[in-house]
Amino acid sequence: MALLQEWRDYAYQYDDSTQEGQQFWLAYFSVEQGIYEKLLTNKDVVEEGTVEELAGKFETEVQLFVGFLDGINDSLKTPNPIEEMEKDTKVSLDIDFEKLYYNMVGCKAQWLYELEQWNDILTEERRKELYKEQKSSTTIVKGDKVGRNDPCPCGSGKKYKKCCGKNA
């Protein structure tokens, strides 16, 4: 079984509404924060190696590191093959920092997007722009409601009730 599936089977058994689940996720988030602090501090270094080597470098278990890789994969310039990953799979952490910040905001990971290391990577203004952009991307804006007797929005010139609203 690939490492990612093992991680998901293991981690998602912990319900964060239970004390045991809360302890597990707090411990994981602490490990995750430590890895991000190191990566953001050394922003010019692209970490590369096998999954096992990088887990050792970041002083964590392979299983927890796989969870980290799952979380960061969408924020990399070139995603890693996480679905088929094994301990000896070569991975690269070539981070797109703007995408990473944006994704952290989207996941509501305040403990990550408020790390002080971001000050040396993105300006405060840019972080505010990305924050606002991410938050507005999830806002649903409803258009004007078409009334029965209004012209049909399809452009036919008929009333809505006689055109596209017939079957509604």
pLDDT band with cut points at 50, 70 and 90 for residue 168: low
Check residue 18 and give its pLDDT. 93
Q: Give the pLDDT band of residue 1 (cuts 50, 70, 90).
A: low
Amino acid residing at 24:
F
The pLDDT tens digits of the residues spanning 142-151 come to 777 888 898 8
Share of the chain above pLDDT 70, in %: 96
Burial class (CB in 10 A: 0-12, 13-18, 19+), 7: buried
Express each pLDDT in 30-62 by its tens digit. Answer: 999 999 999 999 999 999 999 999 999 999 999
CA distance 29 to 64: 10
pLDDT tier, 74 (very low <50, low <70, confident <90, very high otherwise)? very high
Is the Cβ–Cβ distance between 95 and 39 less than 8 Å? yes
Residue type, 116: E
Q: Where are the beta strands (DSSP E) in the chain?
A: 47-50, 90-93
